[in-house]
Amino acid sequence: MTERRIDRVFDVGPSTPTEQVDRRRDVLPGEPTLTDPFIFLSEDWFSRVGFEWHPHRGFETVTYVVDGALEHRDNAGGHGVLGAGDLQWVTAGRGVLHAELAHERRPVHTLQLWLNLPAAKKRVAPRYQDVRGTDAPAARAAGVEARVFAGSVGDVRGPVDTHWPTLVADVRLDAGARFTVPVPGDWAAFFYLLGGAVDAGAPGASDVTLAATRSAHLLLYASAPIREPIVAYGPFVMNRRDEIIEAMSDYRRGGFGQVP
């Protein structure tokens, strides 16, 4: 059995403007070999451009709306608006074209995780799974509510159908509350604190314990490492350089479909 330990704490820098968003904060370091299967996590605030039509291939995006309303469109005719506490799980697979915009150009605050897929799943059919926060089942303990979007916390299982074993939960703790989450010892796991203060520990090979020193709100992510070569370029994440070149060529010739 693998002993769980806290391997590293990443320093999160200040948020800065980009061409797409008012402010962005890069949370994970963008070195996938260190965080396998997590590619990166960004925190974004936007009300102007947002993310206009763009492609993806070979991985999944997991977007949580912290505040405001996020409007989504895809070139298969899909359209929707997600509010605070809602989550969208996009499987890019063999290729998607979509847009993620501030609804009615009002401020929206999001977290977006890029989650790798194994080689055998990189060309699966694309799909979208929207989960309202109020529809995600909750695991509860004294002073704790954990809304489970994917994977399981005890007997509570999230509604997202995953291609790779993954846990995503929206956790809120009252001051002084403690919460222990079973996580397989060989999985990578991390949390991102949106507010408050917590102490984290790993008391056993299959446990992660959070203790709130102040009322806290965080997103907890855990998944099994893929342990395959990874080549990422722009919106494409594959195993080899020639697959990246192929993705770029497919996109340019219209193989991902057309922007409406």
Give, for all 260 residues of the chain, the pLDDT tens digit: 455 677 777 778 889 999 899 999 999 888 898 899 999 999 999 998 799 999 999 999 999 999 999 999 998 888 999 999 999 999 999 999 999 999 999 999 999 999 999 999 999 999 999 999 999 999 999 999 999 999 999 999 999 999 999 999 999 999 999 999 999 989 999 999 999 999 988 766 678 899 999 999 999 999 999 999 999 999 999 999 999 999 999 999 999 998 88
- Say yes or no: 200 and 72 in one domain: no
**pLDDT value at position 108?**
98
Task: Specify the pLDDT at position 207.
Answer: 87
Please give the pLDDT value at position 1. Answer: 44
- Both 184 and 82 in one domain: the answer is no
**Residue 128's pLDDT is what?**
95
Residues 103 and 183 in one domain: no
Domain tally for the chain?
2
Order of strands, edge to edge, in the sheet holding 108-116? 23-26, 38-46, 108-116, 59-67, 87-91, 127-131
Whole-number Å distance between alpha carbons of 47 and 7: 36
Does residue 11 form part of some domain?
no
Whole-number Å distance between alpha carbons of 37 and 230: 10
- 166 near 150, Cβ under 8 Å? yes
Which residue range forms the structural domain that includes residue 248? 17-132+230-254
Same domain for 128 and 140, yes or no, is: no
Burial 89-101 (b: 16+ CB within 10 A, else e): bbbbbbbbbbbbb
Calpha distance 135→114 (Å, rounded): 23
Whether residue 193 is contained in a domain is answered as: yes
The residue behind tokens 């991902």 is 256
Structure tokens at 182: 């079973």
Kindly tell me the number of DSSP H helices and DSSP E strands found in the chain.
2, 20
* 104 vs 147: CA distance, rounded Å: 28
CATH of the domain at 58: 2.60.120.10
Residues 115 and 144 in one domain: no
List, as one string, the DSSP characters of 20-85: S-SEEEE-S-S-HHHHTTEEEEEEEEESSS-EEEEEEBSEEEEEEEEES-EEEEETTS-EEEE-TT
Query: What's the CA gap between 30 and 140, in Å, rounded?
Result: 33
Place of tokens 């977007």: 63
- pLDDT at residue number 102: 96
98 and 123 assigned to the same domain? yes
Length of the chain: 260
Measuring CA to CA, how many Å separate 100 from each of 92, 104, 114, 121, 166?
A: 14, 12, 15, 24, 23
163 and 103 within one domain? no
193, 174: one domain: yes
Q: Are 216 and 239 contained in the same domain?
A: no
Task: Tell whether 26 and 142 lie within a shared domain.
Answer: no
> What is the maximum span of the chain, computed from C-alpha positions, in angstroms?
57
The single residue listed with the structure tokens 């590293």 is 8
